[in-house]
Structure 1
C-alpha cells in the first residue's frame, strides 16, 4: 500500500511515557522523553540527593526536581557526601609509569586530526529516539561506502543533506583540529587513537550525535614520563574516583526502589 494512502488519523495513540522514579520520587515529567544516558544521570543524582538527606547533610525539606536541575544546597550536600564517603588510594609511581607506557599516545603534544562530521543536533523538544535512529542509519550508510571510490562524495552529500552544522555546506569538513578546539567529551573519542576513516560508532557531545570520519592524523610529539607525571597521576585519580563512585551508586541503588530506569548499563557516566 502506498504511504500516501495510509489513514494516519486511525493510527493508535502513542503509548504513555513510563515515569522513572527513585523511592517514589519522579526524575522527569510525565510528558518528557529522555535519552537513556540522561535518564540514568538524573536517577543517580536523585539517589545521591536522597542519600545526602539521610546522612543529615541536606534538609529533608529540600525539594526534588523533575527537570534535572537540583538546588544549590543539594549540590553542595552531594559534594560533601562524596568527599566523606569515597576514598581512593593515591596512585603509586609504578602505577603511573605503567599507565603512561600503555597510553603514550594520550600524552603526546601537538596531536592534530583532520576530520569531517555529520551532526544530528539535540534541541529542546526533539524526539531523541528518532534522532538516534536517523544518526545510526546515516552511520551505516556511510560506513557501507567507506573504502570505495564513491566514499568521499557519499559522505559529503550526506553531510550537506542531514548535518545540523554549518560545515555541512562544505561536506562536513572541519579541517585540522587540536584537543583544545573541541568539546572535552568529543576530544576523548577522537584523540589518542589510531583510527582513520569513518568511526564505527556515533560520537556523543553536548551538541548531539556525530558521524565522524578521520581523514588524517598528525600524532604530535611523544612526551617523557617525567614531563607529564602530574597529568598521569590526575588521570589515575579520576579513574579511581569514577570506579569508587560507580560502586557507591550501586550500593545506594541496591537499597532503593528504582522504577523505569536501568542503572546497570555499562560504560555510562553516572554523574557529572
Structure 2
C-alpha cells in the first residue's frame, strides 16, 4: 500500500506519543512507518509500526551506549550498520550440530528437493484476489473447460487463445520451461509432486483461476541427508538466531522506560 492510503487513515486516528528512555519518536516518523506494515485493520498496522520503531530505538540506544561506530557495508545505511554490528557482538548463537540436523531431516521427509524445471501451459481466467463472487463464477467456467479438454485435449491451444488473459495465449497458453522462482508459489506447490497431465481441478492463484496442463518435469527429487545438510543447518541456525534476537530485544525492553505503547515481548527479530 502507498503512503497516501495510510496518510488518510492516520489523519482520522490520534497517534500515540512514543518515548524510549526519554527519547521521543516523532509522529511523522510513525506515520511514515505505517506504510511498511499492511494489516487487516489500522489498529494492527499501528501496533506493528510502534513496535518496529521502539525496537529500532532500543537497539540504536544500546549501540550508542557501547560506543559502536558504524562500519557500513555497500548499500547499507549508518543505522542499519550499527544494528547489524550490535547484534553480531551481543547475540551469539551456536552452530547447528549433527544430531539436530539429522532429527530435522527425519522429521521432514522429502521436504528438501534438488534442482528442477517444468514445462506447462495454462489458460488464465483473471480475477482480483478479493473478488469472491467473480472467482466463484470463473471456477465454474474453468471446471467446464477442464471437462471439455479431457475429452478433446487437442483443443487446449484453441481454448487458451480464446479465453486466457495471459500473454501466453498467443502461444497457445504455453509458458515454456519454468525453474524455481520464475512463477508464483501456488504453481510450484501444486505441480512439483504431480505426474504430467491436465490438472483435474482449477489452480487458484493471486491472479485468478488457471486451467493447467503439466507437459513435462525434470529433477525435483528429494535430497539425501548429505545433500540437504547445508540447507538444514542454515534453516536451524536462522530459527535459533531469531529466537535469540527476540530474547535480547525483550531484555532491552524490560530494562527500558517505554511510554505510549505496551511493549510485551518481541516476536520479530529485526526492524521491518
So what's the TM-score if we normalise by structure 2? 0.53
* Cα root mean square deviation, aligned: 5.5
Select 1:136's aligned residue among 122, 125, 130: 130
Quick one: distance in 2 between partners of 1:229 and 1:35? 36
Change (3 A) 1:262 1:108: same
User: Matches of residues 88-99 of structure 1 in structure 2 within 5 Å?
Assistant: 88-99=93-104
1:55 and 2:62 matched: yes
How many residues are aligned here?
Answer: 222
Using CA pairs under 8 Å that are at least 6 residues apart, name the structure with larger relative contact order, 1 or 2: 1
- Aligned twin of 2:238: 238
- Aligned twin of 2:79: 74
**Aligned 8 A contact 1:106 1:191 in 2:** no
3-state SS of paired residue (1:136): coil
User: Matches of residues 1-272 of structure 1 in structure 2 within 5 Å?
Assistant: 16-18=11-13, 23=19, 24-25=25-26, 26-29=29-32, 35-36=38-39, 43=50, 45-57=52-64, 72-113=77-118, 114=120, 134-137=128-131, 140-141=135-136, 144-145=139-140, 148-150=143-145, 160=165, 166=167, 174-179=175-180, 181=182, 190=188, 194=193, 210-211=207-208, 216=214, 218=217, 220-249=220-249, 256-257=258-259, 271=271
Change (3 A) 1:226 1:85: same
Q: How far does residue 210 in structure 1 lie from its aligned partner after superposition?
A: 4.8
Quick one: distance in 1 between partners of 2:202 and 2:265? 31
**Aligned 8 A contact 1:57 1:80 in 2:** no
Q: How far does residue 80 in structure 1 lie from its aligned partner after superposition?
A: 1.7
Quick one: distance in 2 between partners of 1:158 and 1:58? 64
The structure where helix makes up a greater share of residues is: 2
Quick one: distance in 2 between partners of 1:251 and 1:199? 46
Change (3 A) 1:34 1:246: same
3-state SS of paired residue (2:231): helix
> Structure 1: any 5+ residue segments left out of the alignment?
1-13, 61-69, 121-132, 203-208
